[in-house]
Amino acid sequence: MKNLKTLFNCGIDVVISGVQLNSKQVEKGDLFICRKGINSDAHDFINEAIENGAIALVCDRNVNVRVPVIMVNDVNFNIPEIMDWYYGNPNDKFKNVVGVTGTAGKTTVCNLINEILNCKLNCGCIGTNGIHSKKYNFEEFGVPNTTLPIDKLYKTIDKFKENEVDNIVIESSSYGLKQNRIGNITFDIALVTNFSEAHIGEHSDIKDYLSSKLKIVHKIKKNGYLVLNADDINHHYFKDKSTAKVFTFGKNDKADLYFKDIKESLYETDFIIVYKGKEYNIKTKLIGINNVYNVCASVLTCILLGLTIEDCISAINNFSMKGRMENYKGVIIDFAVTADALRKDMKFLSKNKKGKIISVIGRLEERDIFEYKEFGKISTKYSDYVIFTTDRNKSGISLALEGMTGTLSCDNYEVIYDREKAIEKALEMKQKDDVVYIVGCEYLYRRNKEVCVNPYDLIDRYVH
């Protein structure tokens, strides 16, 4: 609890018990911050917040209410300062803070870094696959956004500190960076996995998407590092904007850490990494070339944080990633994938298959029609048979389905709206050496429990 009179020296002698941005989550004694978003303005929900127990407000326009109001010029601008006032600046709480952004691979890299660091240190991870550390699991099956709303982020960080976590990895989406959900947190290491036009999502165009991603380089501490993918044609955007020391990874032998001699199967990947002229053998349950990059990014980051490569290798051997090119009973599950990643993963499956590839392809209902078309072309090119479906059980109009199938001239596909029936059909078709490849439906989000399909339950039912 804190006395409000110390915030901006406002002189309001009121003790608050929490800080909230969402009126529905306000509890008795909370300070409600009237943040303005793209599609809504929290000023419009003040009455609801007060009914739920808000004891004071922060606003940037005049309101007539029965509780004290702190007036500021721009609420959104002041949110990080308010969070630092209530929770303390997160930079003072941890030895190392790592921020990870990129078009693809963020979730796997965050969780892999967390896994490696926990071999020798005490680390916590915040991202798509949840909030967790050695001793603390805040939300096992994920969070509402890749990057938490700033009030929840600070609250989670505070909880981590209570549980003696002294290193933290934060998955930082472009939209989270654009909205400054990271607040005043700065990074000892910022890592950019890659950058492409996929996942533009809420951004107005590619320029806005790139400028949002680039914000991460301005959040690096004075003596911090920037880690980049040397094989990504867009990595120079980040390098040119940063004053931090840059380290690179990739297959190019000019990179600070590079890989070679990949031996792959549908169950594991072996390859060599080279660092400072010395070779190290890596063996991992992660499959596909995208995961080779993810491993290299994670190892390089952990080396820069003081771990040895031997420490990293030990952790990697036993690491697996749920729903990210995961081989579960011979069925490959990949919840989140871009068109570029889909192409690489399907080339990998085609190269390593013994029988047929039967794909179940779903996409989120986003605005990127180009991505839809690419998903249709790529999946029908590399699969023996494709079942296009929605990302959830439903019927009716689907822009994603129309986009994926609208320009196809082949006949090796069908459309089944109901995702559960689509997966069941693929599993029924599967013969001994066939591979079923399931794409889409962020099951781990559990945003819509009543309509999301659990592929693992279906696989258990059909595959023995």
Confidence band of 372 (pLDDT split at 50, 70, 90): confident
Within this chain, do residues 133 and 67 fall inside the same structural domain, yes or no? no
- Which CATH number does the domain housing residue 352 bear? 3.90.190.20
- Which CATH number does the domain housing residue 102 bear? 3.40.1190.10
Within this chain, do residues 166 and 274 fall inside the same structural domain, yes or no? yes
Residue range 137-151: mean pLDDT, rounded: 63
Total-model pTM: 0.88
Within this chain, do residues 345 and 212 fall inside the same structural domain, yes or no? no
Within this chain, do residues 121 and 238 fall inside the same structural domain, yes or no? yes
Collapse the DSSP code of 9 into the 3-class scheme (helix H, G, I; strand E, B; otherwise coil) and give the result. coil
> Tokens 């070779």 belong to which residue?
279
Within this chain, do residues 34 and 164 fall inside the same structural domain, yes or no? no
- Which CATH number does the domain housing residue 65 bear? 3.40.1390.10
Least confident of 357-361, 385-389, 440-444: 440-444
Last residue of a domain, one of 32, 47, 81: 81
Within this chain, do residues 303 and 382 fall inside the same structural domain, yes or no? no
Within this chain, do residues 76 and 94 fall inside the same structural domain, yes or no? no
Within this chain, do residues 415 and 268 fall inside the same structural domain, yes or no? no
Q: What is the DSSP letter of 44?
A: G
Within this chain, do residues 18 and 110 fall inside the same structural domain, yes or no? no
Number of domains observed in the structure of the chain: 3
Is the pLDDT at 351 greater than 60? The verdict is: yes
- Cα(202)–Cα(175) distance, rounded to whole angstroms? 7
Within this chain, do residues 113 and 187 fall inside the same structural domain, yes or no? yes
Say if residues 299 and 284 touch (Cβ distance below 8 Å). Answer: no
Last residue of a domain, one of 317, 341, 361: 317
Cross-strand partners of 60: none
Within this chain, do residues 307 and 160 fall inside the same structural domain, yes or no? yes
Instruction: Render pLDDT for 92-126 as a digit per residue (tens, 0 to 9).
Output: 889 999 999 988 888 899 999 999 999 999 999 99
Is the pLDDT at 402 greater than 60? The verdict is: yes
Within this chain, do residues 173 and 115 fall inside the same structural domain, yes or no? yes
**DSSP of 69-134, one letter per residue?**
EEE-S-HHHHHHHHHHHHH--GGGT-SEEEEEE-SS-HHHHHHHHHHHHHHHS-EEEEETTEEEES
Residue range 195-215: mean pLDDT, rounded: 70
Where in the sequence is the domain holding 304, given as residue range(s)? 90-317
- What percentage of residues in the chain have a pLDDT greater than 70? 91
Q: What's residue 369's pLDDT?
A: 65
Is the pLDDT at 447 greater than 90? The verdict is: no
Q: What's residue 145's pLDDT?
A: 57
Last residue of a domain, one of 274, 297, 317: 317
